[in-house]
Amino acid sequence: MASKSEQYMLRCLELAQLGAGSVAPNPMVGCVIVHDSRIIGEGYTSPYGGNHAEVNAINSVNDESLLKKATLYVSLEPCAHFGKTPPCANLIIEKKVKRVVIACLDPFAQVNGLGIKQLMGAGVDVKIGVLESEAKELNRRFFTFHQKKRPYIILKWAETSDGFVDKARTAPSEPSLKITCEASNILVHKWRAEEAAIMVGKNTALLDNPSLTTRKYEGKNPIRILLDGKLETPEAASIFSDEAETLVFHVGEKEKGKRKNGVELIAIESVKNLESILTELHSRNIQSVIVEGGPTLHASFYKAGLWDEIRRFVSPIKAENGVKALQLSETPEEECQIGNDHLLIYRNR
């Protein structure tokens, strides 16, 4: 049975999840304030640029005099630096909160223990490590971004029961193989809304003409990333619409340019140099990328070990021939049924 501290921290994690898709590049954080075994305030991080969880929780308390006798629970170390907002550690000290329980340290270099040091230096009783692994799992994108200096990478595809992702096609006039059910399609659009960016290669852009937006789910469109070494994708392609920002990595002179509709060209030595591409995305504060390209692009990330999660739909339909899906040696950590499809999720631990 969970302890009282764990129960309050579970509530913090529940609140934190409400910020999914809107707080990045900030982490998802939840906070509850407890007085005499009763929650008197709670909050979670506002969309990027807005208040952090601790500020929203403190602002929700009706009687501020109770803060001096309260315990503040928070799923990530309170910040100690001036960013878009003032330091949360300063506010906690100002309000004379006597005790703070924290799930885990913040890996961001400008925090990373400094918030805790500041609180303890002001005489606050600090406890660290309640549901630490659960808190890190919730913010795995944030931790990967700061610890590995690259975005969190999700490889996603759908395949038939006999292991094909499409028919063998050579022209966009040939329709693609429809593999997943509508429930799976809606889920994929929800995922798009939760990630910072979405990536495909040139062949996918030419054959499928995808828009890579969240048409089937209400949410923000991710930044679109296209790997097109020779800039062969026509300007009229859906990926260049004004619905979302598009970054195009190509081989050329070391300069950056613009097409219409906010499409930015980024010249690199090779579009096969994934580490170079991820370094550029990291410099742009892009915290996560869902890769929806074909099996060639998926295999490049997979073989390089540059992946954190694989989301693989397996449909009951058969193709008998066509383009083979990437073969995996790992065992899925999670499995579930989505409509007629079987969803398998793998993690690169």
Catalytic site residues?
54
Task: State the number of CA atoms in the 13 A half-sphere of 192 facing the CB.
Answer: 26
CB within 8 A of 77, min separation 6: which ones? 102, 104, 105, 106, 111, 112, 113, 115, 116, 128
Please state, in angstroms and rounded to a whole number, the distance separating the CA atoms of residues 9 and 141.
Answer: 20
CB within 8 A of 112, min separation 6: which ones? 77, 105, 106
Residue with tokens 């503040």: 72
DSSP letter at 131 equals: T
Please state, in angstroms and rounded to a whole number, the distance separating the CA atoms of residues 159 and 311.
Answer: 11
CB of 53 within 8 A of CB of 44? yes
The residues facing 246 across adjacent strands are 224, 263
Please state, in angstroms and rounded to a whole number, the distance separating the CA atoms of residues 11 and 76.
Answer: 13
Q: Where are the alpha helices (DSSP H) in the chain?
A: 4-17, 53-59, 88-94, 114-121, 132-138, 140-148, 182-194, 202-208, 274-283, 295-304
Q: Where are the alpha helices (DSSP H) in 153-216?
A: 182-194, 202-208
Please state, in angstroms and rounded to a whole number, the distance separating the CA atoms of residues 344 and 333.
Answer: 8
CB of 1 within 8 A of CB of 199? no
Strands 256-258 and 263-268: antiparallel
Tokens of 175: 């329709």
CB of 45 within 8 A of CB of 65? no
